[in-house]
Structure 1
Amino acid sequence: MASLPPTEGQLYIGLMSGTSLDGIDGVLFDAGRLAVTGHVHAPFAPALRDELLALNTPGDNELHRAALAANAVARGYADVVAQLLEATGTRRDQVAAIGAHGQTVRHQPGGFDGYTTQLLNGALLAEQAGIDVVCDLRSRDVAAGGQGAPLVPAFHRAVFSAEGQDSAVLNLGGISNLSLLFADGRTGGFDCGPANCLMDGWIARHQGKAFDADGAWAATGRVSPALLATLLGEPFFALPPPKSTGRDLFNLGWLQSRLLPGLAPEDVQATLLELSTRCVADALRAQMPGARSLIACGGGALNGRLMQRLSDLLPGVTVESSAAHDLPVDQVEAAAFAWLAMRFKTKRPGNLPAVTGAAGLRLLGCLYPA
């Protein structure tokens, strides 16, 4: 989607901070034209990033720490909103609503009593931004028996579907998820497994880097067939859709418990990259064998080695970046949450029961008025 003049009354802001914890992406989104008209990225302060990562696992004084982190996320979101408005010359009263994802720290839709937790003080964001805020977008789907994820396939259908062919959209964030856009109009989707979360954690531990730029470190190692087979033995990969996952499962503790002795760190990184591509390729072949196109977005789409391995594993499938469809890889998810805010404000459902497993269509989110 090319950048176009905004349509009056159709402007929304989408805010996304994903499992990769690389920061906040904000877009100004014209829901009338399905076009992004502005984008801002702001990294998390290191202390906040570390705290959000720590809150993915049990710890001391969690309620207090989570509340403070939710406030910090809201303030970070408000700063991005202010930057967006200034950069695009947009007034607050021109924006119908903000669609704000929050930061997922726990996701247990099928465990315990079923819940999902995204840290964000929506009231504080509405107070600071001066714009209606639609947030907590996953909980209603979970309450209806669904996974609460992925929520982006309906948006992907709206912007990426190709007439007359089966195509798929792949988000490569901390976790990978597929949207299946069938030629007959059906839409599917599910989480595949880890995309960047394990690779990012491993290189941070061994080299102090936030991510493996272009897969360069992985390229220096060799894939361990034995470790790869052990990792692929995780029962999640064999589950049929609907399914979703997160750092609750795929974290460095999970990896550490499966490591084989004697492997060099770079060989582990090479194996993790292979895991990230194999779980996607296996899932796509199983669920959409007729796929002819795979459009990738998210930070992992900037990893040339990862993208090349996907192409190698999927002969006959054109693997390309969402940028080839006029939507840069770091803007797709934020645009999707702006779109979901539009669905809420216009009283239309945001979930797809065939994707999440929910009992039916539901209006997603809660509103904090400006």
Structure 2
Amino acid sequence: MSGTSLDGIDAALVAIGRDTPPELLGTTAVAMPDALHKQLLQLCHAQEVSFAELAAAEDAFCRLQAKAVNALLTAQQLSPEQVQAVGSHGQTVEHAPGGHTGGPAYTLQLDNPSLLAELTGCTVVADFRRRDLAAGGQAAPLAPAFHQALFGRQQGEQLILNLGGFANLTWLPSNAETPVTGFDTGPANVLLDAWFSKHKGGRFDQNGAWAASGRVDPGLLERLLEAPFFQQAPPRSTGRELFHLPWLEHHLAGNEAPCDVQATLAELTAISVARGIQQLPLTHQGITVITCGGGAHNADLMARLAAHLPLADFASPSTYGWPEDWIEAGAFAWLAHQRLHQLPGNVPTVTGARGPRVLGGIYAP
């Protein structure tokens, strides 16, 4: 898995049984080279792009995926034949479940599962999103189905918050008759990273230290929260095509201190997440929120969330044997397993699809 943060490839080795939750056996992370990081960012915001540019980025991305898979197999002393399949999400460059200027709905992930199968010797399952889209769904978020498999056997209701480039929620009700709910709440790290990179040169604000040094600008925050997405009822999903640096800069008055903008962006994430949770028909307010993704390590962001959700108890998924950074990668291993066994991978009440669908295509080595 490589998410909207574009920081690298996360590879998780997962054991999946019939009667037990998925078990994390091993992990490997391969950092995204600066050149590929820049190339993918440009593609995400390009108005015009050549097929040659797409092909070059896809090839480089696939070879980085293969490097991660092969490193994980070596570390775990496994042969390709011992792995059922590699679940490859690909790199999203544009996600438009509502179409664009009246055109058809689409979601585009750079991926080359045929080449990945050649480079690893493993069966590859890929192209998970478009079947849900074809069935009238948003094609996102897909992780709630995995969250249900991973955490759904616990007592009581569960709330899982993923803080990647974007933030999404999964609500697992305590009543088995109540459908699972999940949706994107808005940006998590994507704007924070972009603004930090512009002014500080790095890829992310370590522990939110720069954001913590600034002050929230109420006027800017109000303007950002006026985006129609925040008023949209679920099912809903979003991406870089909506929340990006030019969008932010369009809302600036021009005299803001950069650190104050960073603080305001952190507050935007916290408020939009809190409002998303408040929309849910929770049975009680003192719920445990299991946090995952890179944002779970951001001390400033977590403090802001705690301030907006004073009755919530924030917990790490490591309690369940899954550290914060590996839930998303694990989800696509699980989705590959679902495809091999002809089992649905979407949750229609989350994506809005017409019904359960088997997701992905299979590419033999």
Match of 1:326 among 321, 329, 340: 321
In structure 1, what is the Cα distance between the partners aligned to 2:154 and 2:334? Answer: 22
* Structure 1 residue 277, shift from structure 2 partner: 0.8
Q: Does 1:229 align with 2:210?
A: no
Q: Would the aligned equivalents of 1:162 and 1:183 in 2 still touch at CA under 8 Å?
A: no
Structure 2 counterpart of 1:318, one-letter code = D
Match of 1:307 among 272, 278, 302: 302
Cα displacement string for residues 232-283 of structure 1 (whole angstroms, at most 9, x for unaligned residues):
1111011010000000000001101011231100000000000011100001
Match of 1:337 among 332, 337, 341: 332
Q: Does 1:19 align with 2:4?
A: yes
* Structure 1 residue 58, shift from structure 2 partner: 2.6
Q: Would the aligned equivalents of 2:24 and 2:321 in 1 still touch at CA under 8 Å?
A: no
Q: Would the aligned equivalents of 1:310 and 1:319 in 2 still touch at CA under 8 Å?
A: no
After TM superposition, the structure 1 stretch with the greater mean CA deviation from structure 2, 54-63 or 332-341, is: 54-63
Structure 1 counterpart of 2:45, one-letter code = T
* Structure 1 residue 330, shift from structure 2 partner: 1.0
Q: Would the aligned equivalents of 2:26 and 2:76 in 1 still touch at CA under 8 Å?
A: yes
Structure 2 counterpart of 1:21, one-letter code = L
In structure 2, what is the Cα distance between the partners aligned to 1:161 and 1:270? Answer: 35
Match of 1:126 among 117, 122, 130: 117
**1:71-82 mapped onto 2 (5 Å cutoff):** 71-82=59-70
In structure 2, what is the Cα distance between the partners aligned to 1:325 and 1:230? Answer: 39
Q: Would the aligned equivalents of 2:148 and 2:172 in 1 still touch at CA under 8 Å?
A: yes
Q: Look up the SS of the partner of 1:287 in the other structure.
A: coil
Q: Does 1:196 align with 2:181?
A: no
In structure 2, what is the Cα distance between the partners aligned to 1:59 and 1:233? Answer: 25
Q: Which residue of 1 aligns with 2:351?
A: 356
After TM superposition, the structure 1 stretch with the greater mean CA deviation from structure 2, 169-178 or 303-312, is: 303-312
The runs of 4+ residues in structure 1 deviating greater than 6 Å are none
Match of 1:156 among 116, 122, 147: 147
In structure 1, what is the Cα distance between the partners aligned to 2:143 and 2:279? Answer: 20
In structure 2, what is the Cα distance between the partners aligned to 1:321 and 1:226? Answer: 34
Percentage identity across aligned positions? 48
Q: Which residue of 2 aligns with 1:263?
A: 256
Match of 2:291 among 296, 300, 319: 296
In structure 2, what is the Cα distance between the partners aligned to 1:321 and 1:239? Answer: 29
Match of 1:241 among 215, 234, 237: 234
Q: Would the aligned equivalents of 1:204 and 1:211 in 2 still touch at CA under 8 Å?
A: yes
Q: Which residue of 1 aligns with 2:364?
A: 369
Match of 2:15 among 30, 44, 68: 30
Q: Would the aligned equivalents of 1:294 and 1:319 in 2 still touch at CA under 8 Å?
A: yes
In structure 2, what is the Cα distance between the partners aligned to 1:215 and 1:279? Answer: 17
* Structure 1 residue 310, shift from structure 2 partner: 1.0
**1:59-78 mapped onto 2 (5 Å cutoff):** 59-78=47-66
In structure 1, what is the Cα distance between the partners aligned to 2:57 and 2:108? Answer: 13
Cα displacement string for residues 319-356 of structure 1 (whole angstroms, at most 9, x for unaligned residues):
12222332111111000100000000001010011100
In structure 2, what is the Cα distance between the partners aligned to 1:41 and 1:62? Answer: 30
Cα displacement string for residues 39-63 of structure 1 (whole angstroms, at most 9, x for unaligned residues):
0001111111111111112344432
TM-score of the pair, normalised by structure 2: 0.95
In structure 1, what is the Cα distance between the partners aligned to 2:75 and 2:154? Answer: 36
Q: Look up the SS of the partner of 2:324 in the other structure.
A: coil
Q: Look up the SS of the partner of 1:211 in the other structure.
A: coil
* Structure 1 residue 163, shift from structure 2 partner: 4.4
In structure 1, what is the Cα distance between the partners aligned to 2:84 and 2:106? Answer: 29
* Structure 1 residue 209, shift from structure 2 partner: 1.1
* Structure 1 residue 286, shift from structure 2 partner: 1.1
* Structure 1 residue 317, shift from structure 2 partner: 1.2
Q: Would the aligned equivalents of 2:11 and 2:28 in 1 still touch at CA under 8 Å?
A: yes
Q: Which residue of 1 aligns with 2:166?
A: 175
Q: Which residue of 1 aligns with 2:208?
A: 215
Q: Which runs of 5+ in 1 are unaligned?
A: 1-15
Structure 1 counterpart of 2:25, one-letter code = T
Q: Look up the SS of the partner of 1:248 in the other structure.
A: coil
Q: Look up the SS of the partner of 1:319 in the other structure.
A: strand
Q: Would the aligned equivalents of 1:40 and 1:83 in 2 still touch at CA under 8 Å?
A: yes
In structure 2, what is the Cα distance between the partners aligned to 1:304 and 1:161? Answer: 28
In structure 1, what is the Cα distance between the partners aligned to 2:46 and 2:73? Answer: 38
In structure 2, what is the Cα distance between the partners aligned to 1:184 and 1:309? Answer: 30
Residues 1:165 and 1:260: Cα distance change in structure 2 (over 3 Å): farther
In structure 2, what is the Cα distance between the partners aligned to 1:86 and 1:331? Answer: 19
In structure 2, what is the Cα distance between the partners aligned to 1:246 and 1:285? Answer: 22
Cα displacement string for residues 51-82 of structure 1 (whole angstroms, at most 9, x for unaligned residues):
11111123444322111111111111111111
Structure 2 counterpart of 1:332, one-letter code = I
* Structure 1 residue 164, shift from structure 2 partner: 4.7
Q: Look up the SS of the partner of 1:118 in the other structure.
A: strand
Aligned residues: 355
In structure 2, what is the Cα distance between the partners aligned to 1:156 and 1:243? Answer: 18
Q: Look up the SS of the partner of 1:306 in the other structure.
A: helix
RMSD, aligned α-carbons: 1.2
Structure 2 counterpart of 1:309, one-letter code = R
Q: Which runs of 5+ in 2 are unaligned?
A: none
Q: Which residue of 2 aligns with 1:55?
A: 43
Q: Which residue of 1 aligns with 2:243?
A: 250
Structure 1 counterpart of 2:266, one-letter code = L
In structure 1, what is the Cα distance between the partners aligned to 2:65 and 2:15? Answer: 19
